[in-house]
């Protein structure tokens, strides 16, 4: 199946979709009458290239081709996925759908980024309405994985399944809503919070900065990892959700929120809010703020990945799906040539791996080598299931040589040799490269342990056999330069 996405409307959101598809290996065609569209998408892409490839622990596929088209017909003909991201005006969107109907392929899925319109409003009057679904993303689309997929009875199961499959394949989470409603689910929350915030500023209760602090220092970061209901379940203490509801349910009838209507957007209110926002953050450009936002998102999402939780768990699953294309294996049976060092890592240096010297920081070399050791362990059979049964390896000694520097966003690969594998011992040699350039070596001695006694113990027979097999195959290679080296400072 070809992978061609047509992006109709390449502004903030269309640019984000373009980057998400492109960096996941799709060819992307953009149609946008704005003469500045190419520049703007270029800038969004710069930010996306900086942040997305290093979000996960496995390299993304090769980037697709990006092209700009003056005619809608040219952009959409032959496209598998069409993403409409024109401004939020129903008349304009309906005009675009009438045009799309003429030129798109009959089996293409058409997703709309609309924040508020229902899919039936977009499908209305269209002979090909069954091809149209809402695929509502969140800014920045290239980093945030949620896409609300809203469908109607006009959409076949095949179209719905295809929509979910494509969205998942580019590392996103399709939240399928079968019942359409204005603004879907997530934007209902955003509007409620936004409305409260507008009143609080208008009535002089809090400034824009105080409101942002109330969110980012408190419930915002909490929501990011556990959402609303799980957070409140925990807040109910040992008695959980029922206790929480008994304690705080009555407040709802007060209610704490008094300001249910929307404040009028008078010039005075717009100036008040824009003025406070300028005072708060006017010293930074929007692009600068985007990069700060992206650095923070990547750091937080990668932290969740270490816990295999929330967006991090989703990214870990996406990484798994990319392993084959990246040349990574999880079993000795899948190694094509046993005589060569094993590829144990193919990734991009993430944003949060760099330091004040502007390059990958020393502790991350060990992090990368440790991940390669984990993969080698899995390859010989010491995988999660084996570890859960009570056996594993502990590292007893490590020697890392930092040979050349590498920067965030650059691709690295690690190749691993088994120097010795017998009984309880596993002696590994990792080499880290960017292309042909050797960046670092890692030499590690590990001991097999019984996780109950926490003492060294022989591994299961199949693990030792696999280790011996790899060690024997690698023994035919010339000894690596630097093997067994100590720092060797004169005394």
Ligand X SMILES: NC(=O)C1=CN([C@@H]2O[C@H](COP(=O)(O)OP(=O)(O)OC[C@H]3O[C@@H](n4cnc5c(N)ncnc54)[C@H](O)[C@@H]3O)[C@@H](O)[C@H]2O)C=CC1
Interface positions with ligand L46V6VHR (CB under 6 A): 115, 138-139, 187, 190
Q: Residue 34: which of ligand X, ligand L46V6VHR, none does it interact with, CB under 5 to 8 A by kind?
A: ligand X
What minimum distance in Å lies between the beta carbon of 115 and ligand X?
A: 3
CB nearer to ligand X: give 134 or 440: 134
- Closest CA relative to residue 171, chosen from 280, 83, 53, 264: 53
Query: Cβ atoms within 10 A of the Cβ of 26, count?
Result: 25
421 marked ligand binding residue:
no
Is 208 among the residues that bind ligand X (CB under 6 A)? no
CB nearer to ligand L46V6VHR: give 115 or 373: 115
Among 71, 88, 203, 397, binds ligand X (CB under 6 A): 88
| Measured CA angle at 341 (ends 338, 342), to 5 deg | 80
Q: Residue 87: which of ligand X, ligand L46V6VHR, none does it interact with, CB under 5 to 8 A by kind?
A: ligand X
What minimum distance in Å lies between the beta carbon of 432 and ligand X?
A: 39
Is 362 among the residues that bind ligand X (CB under 6 A)? no
Residue nearest to ligand L46V6VHR (CB): 115
Q: Residue 187: which of ligand X, ligand L46V6VHR, none does it interact with, CB under 5 to 8 A by kind?
A: ligand L46V6VHR
Among 4, 5, 6, 8, binds ligand X (CB under 6 A): 8
CB nearer to ligand X: give 259 or 292: 292
Is 119 among the residues that bind ligand X (CB under 6 A)? no
* Sign of the four-CA dihedral 452, 458, 461, 464: positive
C-alpha–C-alpha distance, residues 198 and 202, integer Å: 6
14 marked ligand binding residue:
yes
Total residues contacting ligand X (rule CB under 6 A)? 23
What minimum distance in Å lies between the beta carbon of 469 and ligand L46V6VHR?
A: 51
CB nearer to ligand L46V6VHR: give 188 or 462: 188
Site mask, ligand X, residues 300-319, x = CB under 6 A? --------------------
Is 30 among the residues that bind ligand X (CB under 6 A)? no
273 marked ligand binding residue:
no
- Closest CA relative to residue 332, chosen from 464, 480, 476: 464
CB nearer to ligand X: give 118 or 136: 136
User: CA dihedral in degrees (236, 242, 248, 254; nearest 10)?
Assistant: 170
Site mask, ligand X, residues 428-467, x = CB under 6 A? ----------------------------------------
Q: Residue 9: which of ligand L46V6VHR, ligand X, none does it interact with, CB under 5 to 8 A by kind?
A: ligand X
C-alpha–C-alpha distance, residues 380 and 391, integer Å: 13
Both tokens of 146, joined, read 């949620």
C-alpha–C-alpha distance, residues 162 and 155, integer Å: 11
List residues bridging with 411 in a β-sheet.
348
Question: Can you state the angle between helices 286-306 and 37-51, rounded to 10 degrees?
Answer: 30
Query: Cβ atoms within 10 A of the Cβ of 491, count?
Result: 3
C-alpha–C-alpha distance, residues 141 and 27, integer Å: 17
Q: Residue 96: which of ligand X, ligand L46V6VHR, none does it interact with, CB under 5 to 8 A by kind?
A: ligand X
12 marked ligand binding residue:
yes
What minimum distance in Å lies between the beta carbon of 313 and ligand X?
A: 23
Is 277 among the residues that bind ligand X (CB under 6 A)? no
342 marked ligand binding residue:
no
Contact positions with ligand X (CB under 6 A) in 31-50: 31-34, 37
Among 10, 54, 129, 421, binds ligand X (CB under 6 A): 10
CB nearer to ligand X: give 4 or 134: 134
9 marked ligand binding residue:
yes
CB nearer to ligand X: give 187 or 450: 187
> What DSSP string runs through 126-176?
-TTGGGEEEEE--SSTTT--EEEEE--TTS-HHHHHHHHHHHHHTT-EEEE
Task: Give the binding range for ligand X (CB under 6 A) out of 135-143, 171-179, 368-376, 420-428.
Answer: 135-143
- Classify residue 337 by its DSSP letter: -
- Closest CA relative to residue 68, chosen from 25, 10, 20: 10
CB nearer to ligand X: give 62 or 91: 91
> What DSSP string runs through 217-275?
IIIHHHHHHHTTHHHHHHHTGGGHHHHHHHHHHHHHHTTS----SPPP--HHHHHHHHH
C-alpha–C-alpha distance, residues 156 and 142, integer Å: 28
Is residue 49 within 8 Å of residue 77, measured between CB atoms?
Answer: no
Is residue 455 within 8 Å of residue 449, measured between CB atoms?
Answer: yes
What minimum distance in Å lies between the beta carbon of 258 and ligand X?
A: 28
Residue nearest to ligand X (CB): 11
Strand locations in 315-381 (E): 342-348
C-alpha–C-alpha distance, residues 466 and 330, integer Å: 13
CB nearer to ligand L46V6VHR: give 194 or 229: 194
Binding site, annotated residues: 9-14
Binding site, annotated residues for NAD(+): 9-14
Binding residues (CB under 6 A) for ligand X: these are: 8-14, 31-34, 37, 85-88, 96, 113-115, 136-137, 139
């Amino acid at each position: 199946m070809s992978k061609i996405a047509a992006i109709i409307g390449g502004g903030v959101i269309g640019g984000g979709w373009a980057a998400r598809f492109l960096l996941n290996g799709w060819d992307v065609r953009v149609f946008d009458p704005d003469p500045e569209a190419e520049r703007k998408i270029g800038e969004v892409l710069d930010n996306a290239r900086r942040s997305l490839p290093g979000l996960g622990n496995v390299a993304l596929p090769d980037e697709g081709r990006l092209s700009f088209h003056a005619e809608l017909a040219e952009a959409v003909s032959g496209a598998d996925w069409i993403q409409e991201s024109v401004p939020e005006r129903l008349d304009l969107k309906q005009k675009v759908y009438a045009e799309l109907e003429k030129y798109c392929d009959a089996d293409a899925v058409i997703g709309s980024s609309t924040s508020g319109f229902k899919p039936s409003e977009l499908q209305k009057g269209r002979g090909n309405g069954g091809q149209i679904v809402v695929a509502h993303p969140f800014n920045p689309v290239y980093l945030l994985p949620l896409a609300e997929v809203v469908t109607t009875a006009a959409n076949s199961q095949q179209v719905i399944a295809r929509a979910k499959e494509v969205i998942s394949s580019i590392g996103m989470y399709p939240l399928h809503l079968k019942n359409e409603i204005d603004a879907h689910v997530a934007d209902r929350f955003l509007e409620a919070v936004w409305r409260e915030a507008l009143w609080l500023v208008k009535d002089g209760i809090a400034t824009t900065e105080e409101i942002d602090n109330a969110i980012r220092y408190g419930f915002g970061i909490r929501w990011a990892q556990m959402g609303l209901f799980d957070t409140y379940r925990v807040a109910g203490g040992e008695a959980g959700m029922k206790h929480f509801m008994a304690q705080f349910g009555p407040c709802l009838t007060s209610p704490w929120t008094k300001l249910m209507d929307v404040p009028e957007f008078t010039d005075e209110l717009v100036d008040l809010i824009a003025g406070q926002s300028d005072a708060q953050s006017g010293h930074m450009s929007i692009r600068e703020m985007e990069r700060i936002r992206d650095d923070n998102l990547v750091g937080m999402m990668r932290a969740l990945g270490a816990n295999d939780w929330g967006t991090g768990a989703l990214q870990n699953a996406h990484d798994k799906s990319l392993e084959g294309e990246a040349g990574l294996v999880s079993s000795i049976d899948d190694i094509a040539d046993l005589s060569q060092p094993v590829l144990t890592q193919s990734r991009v240096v993430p944003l949060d791996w760099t330091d004040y010297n502007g390059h990958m920081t020393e502790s991350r070399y060990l992090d990368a080598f440790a991940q390669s050791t984990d993969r080698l362990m899995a390859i010989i059979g010491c995988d999660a299931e084996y570890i859960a049964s009570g056996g594993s390896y502990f590292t007893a000694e490590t020697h890392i040589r930092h040979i050349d520097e590498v920067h965030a966003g650059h691709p690295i690969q690690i190749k691993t040799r088994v120097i010795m594998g017998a009984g309880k011992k596993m002696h590994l040699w990792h080499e880290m490269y960017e292309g042909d350039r050797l960046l670092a070596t890692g030499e590690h001695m590990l001991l097999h342990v019984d996780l109950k006694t926490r003492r060294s113990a022989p591994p299961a027979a199949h693990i030792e056999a696999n280790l011996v097999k790899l060690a024997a195959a690698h023994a035919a290679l010339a000894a690596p330069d630097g093997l067994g080296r100590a720092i060797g400072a004169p005394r």
